[in-house]
Amino acid sequence: MSAPSPMEISLQNPQDKEIPDQNGVIAVDSAPSPSLPHDKVLVSVEVSLKPSSTARIDDVRSAVERMLEKRSLSYTDGPVPVPPDDQFLTENVQRICICDTDEWVQNHEILLFWQVKPVVHVFQLSEEGACEDVSGDGQPSTFNEWILPAKEFDGMWESLIYESGLKQRLLRYAASALLFTEKGVNPFLVSWNRIVLLHGPPGTGKTSLCKALAQKLSIRFNSRYPQCQLIEVNAHSLFSKWFSESGKLVAKLFQKIQEMVEEENNLVFVLIDEVESLAAARKAALSGSEPSDSIRVVNALLTQLDKLKSAPNVIILTTSNITAAIDIAFVDRADIKAYVGPPTLQARYEILRSCLQELIRTGILSNFEDCESLMLPNYGSLKEKLNMPEVQDARTLHMCKLLLETAEACEGLSGRSLRKLPFLGHAALASPYGCDPSKFLSTMIDTARRERSELPD
């Protein structure tokens, strides 16, 4: 792999970082941080409107700001209940969520309300779903399109678990790029672009992370860009057997994107998955094993992308399974290159914990009689719990140990395999109903070992 450029972000040196649990609870200590700046810390508060709501965004924003002021909250990531006595909010708001405080909160400290300036983002999810480009002549579609923020990507960002603040850094890089454009920074004096490349082994969540990032940015930037779209280019389909048509397909696709981009209130995300397929097609064409049309298609695509790059309201998201340098012109110029690796022990524990809690929520696994007791601690507070076994509930402690053991047994499995493991584990059970969680985890350990033994060397 080539030496990382200064902008390269990588998961190779994970720093220990607290991952909040599903309810946003992170272990806290009430003393204010001495390292906090004197001026207030900006904290994002995301407010999702009900599908039926027709309230004005500004009205909801003001109502939420007033509510936050009144409640004198301390700020940790996670949901804030909508006050039942506030009729306007209960009628219009589905969910209020505090985000990204873990960036500021260090050493288990808490952000108190007077240290915070909440930045409220109000949005309504689009329920339209993916709109395919249907050519009607039997050709595979060349792209999918979503209006963002889309219902189907809701919760995706939160479900992706990485360490060392990868998600936050991606968000910040993209936000800086949009801000530089917005403020009209002269690109001859300070150069930057809006190309993101996520690379790493299969199943590590690269495609999902691109979609989730687009969704997040559409929420965070909705006051500047009230309309956002995500176009997922199906690179494979551009190299189908209808090569003579491919040139036309590329032209049609980019004409559409260009039209979207011309509307300055639109923010357009273009996702090109598995960009290495472009490089491979070009190489094959040069060696004569592919029709020469294919080189024209790749070149046309690259030229179009190059052109698109100069538009201020476009972010190009790309992924690749090849971790070595990809021989492709525009990816070289990607500002934001991030290596996305297989989940570490901490991430594996958190992924499995979220799976387990979902199976308990849906009743597939039986809970203890007093439901409260099976709130499994997050990885951060796990160490503490294991160190003080005498003050813990014995059943919870046993579950924590088993969960940790399962996470250890899953070393080397991708995030994709991990999310499938509970299903495989369940299918291996003798009795599928109301299974005891600890028995289930023991089965999962066996399933994980089997999955690992089937991994290619």
360 with 367: CB under 8 angstroms? yes
Residue 419 interacting partner from Mg ion, ligand ATP, none (CB closer than 5 to 8 Å by kind) = ligand ATP
Whichever of 207 and 266 has its CB closer to ligand ATP, that residue is: 207
Residue of closest CB approach to ligand ATP:
415
Among candidates 281, 307, 301, which has minimal Cα distance to 292? 281
Contact assessment for residue 394 and residue 402, using Cβ atoms and an 8 Å cutoff: no
Q: How far is the CB of 124 from Mg ion (least distance, A)?
A: 28
> Nearest 5°: phi and psi at 9?
-110, 145
Residues 6+ apart with CB under 8 A from 217: 171, 174, 175, 178, 228, 267, 269, 315
Selection from Mg ion, ligand ATP, none that 357 binds (CB < 5 to 8 A by kind) is none
| CA–CA dist 231, 252 (Å, integer) | 13
Q: Give the Cβ contact number of residue 452 at 10 Å.
A: 14
Name the binder of 415 from ligand ATP, Mg ion, none, CB < 5-8 A by kind. ligand ATP
Q: Which residue is nearest to Mg ion (CB)?
A: 207
What H or E segment, with its residue span, contains residue 261? helix 243-262
Q: Is 30 exposed, middle or buried (0-12, 13-18, 19+ CB in 10 A)?
A: exposed
Where do contacts with ligand ATP occur on this chain (CB under 6 A)?
Answer: 159-162, 202-208, 319, 321, 343, 347, 351, 415-416, 419
Cβ proximity to ligand ATP: between 321 and 357 the closer is 321
CB atoms within 10 A of CB 361: 11
By beta-carbon proximity to ligand ATP, the closer residue of 63 and 198 is 198
Question: For residues 330 and 302, is the Cβ–Cβ distance under 8 A?
Answer: yes
Q: Which C-beta is closer to ligand ATP: that of 124 or that of 320?
A: 320
Residue 417 C-beta: closest distance to ligand ATP, Å: 8
- Residue 214: CB minimum distance to ligand ATP, A: 13
207 touches Mg ion (CB under 5 A)? yes
Q: Closest CB to ligand ATP among 50 and 419?
A: 419
Instruction: State the minimum distance, in angstroms, from the CB of residue 26 to ligand ATP.
Output: 18
Closer to ligand ATP at the Cβ: 155 or 389?
155
Sites of contact with Mg ion (CB under 5 A): 207
